[in-house]
Structure 1
Amino acid sequence: MQRTVDSGPFPPSPPPSTTDPAVIAAHDWAAFDAVEKMVDHWERPGWSGDTRAYYWMLTIPEESPLVGHMRQCQRALAHFGFDDIAPDGLHLTLGRIGLVGEIGGDRLDRLTADAQQRVSGRFTLRAIPLSASRGAIRYSVAPWRPLLDLYQMLHEVGARHGLPFRKPAAVFRPHMGIAYSNRTLPAAGVRAALRPLRELDPVDVLVEQAHLVVLRREARAYRWNVARTLHLAPC
């Protein structure tokens, strides 16, 4: 059976502005508007039930207003049967640095201590409803600039410790997923369902920490345990 992989950066190109929320959201939607079919997110090479990998990510507390906003959107899309992200699972993935078992704890300590000396201040992200990729329903986020700076710093610090991100900053497309597609289906019907949700107000989230986590897959969901934490400086 042919595998339907949601691969490559999406959107394929970055937006013309990495700071303007309206431009970023419009760019994400234009990219999804060109998608004919959604695919099965879970048909991804290199992952199994036994895979454990270290990722840097931002996590959203369950008590955040954004989680209630996400649940509202998930309920509106329930008839598609997507695999919803759990209330304690909302996150923004930065990138992967390696497999568990290949990286010792002392090395993680040195990496985190080095990154902590270079991390910049806290910032606010705006989660903008609602768009999609080939394999997931997601929020656009803005601005990208502090995320790109954080990504580049972690990539450079990681490289000094032999633990760079697997992908360069040029293909990083910040977003926050709320549900995963679990089959192939026409994208036109999904777009029609998303359009009224795009009229909802955006939600601002204060980013105070970044976490290095041990990521795993359980059934059709991502779960993690926090291994190390970076604390962003007060503004």
Structure 2
Amino acid sequence: MHVAVVTVGDEILAGDTINTNAAWLGKRLAERGVDVERVTVLPDRVGEIARVVNEYRAEYDAVIVTGGLGPTHDDVTMEGVAAAIGRGVERNEEALAWLVEEGGYERDELTAGTADLPRGARPLHNEAGVAPGAVVEGIYVLPGVPSEMKAMFESIEGEFEGEPRYVARVETSEPESELVPRLAELRERFDVSVGSYPGDGVSLKLIGTDEATVEAAADWLRERVELDG
């Protein structure tokens, strides 16, 4: 399964807010064997959201969009997603009923537009907040508040499934440039992908679909590098 993640918010682009949602989603999806192939940050502009979401939904199995939900002037994500699929936005009675019956709100307490979703969308109820999310044509729209986003994703994460992946890590004190020949040989010998992440030393991440192969590759590598610590 191949997925694109889109986060919406001028505050992210300005550096006022750190994009923790994308990092959290990437980790959770990877644990489920799902390939995240794009992470994109967009401004609070309907046209930009519509253009990118429309492009990504044609290329990937699913698009996850976070941020910009609610009734305020800069909450335009639902409108952008609706435009991407050529639909309008309308009040979703199921979402509104849930807010009243389960959320404990009176209808006149809710700001106009709170339960507006793309026409025909399946609402995703917000157990940790107010603004509902939505699913429509493979596009999953989640809140930007991290606690709300996580709770909502956990309610639908069973819809994201891929081939199981196994991971092993090898930490070495050697410079990355000196590891190139051994990493090339490793890839020839074993059916694994290798990520190399330099810092104080180098962290080598081995990923594969067969657990025994990943462990064998890690053992082979540990015998041929200077281990860190």
| TM-score computed with the length of structure 2 as normaliser | 0.23
Report 1 or 2 for greater relative contact order, CA contacts < 8 Å, sequence distance ≥ 6: 1
- Comparing both structures, which one devotes a greater share of its residues to strand? 1
- Comparing both structures, which one devotes a greater share of its residues to helix? 2
Could you say which structure has the larger radius of gyration? 2
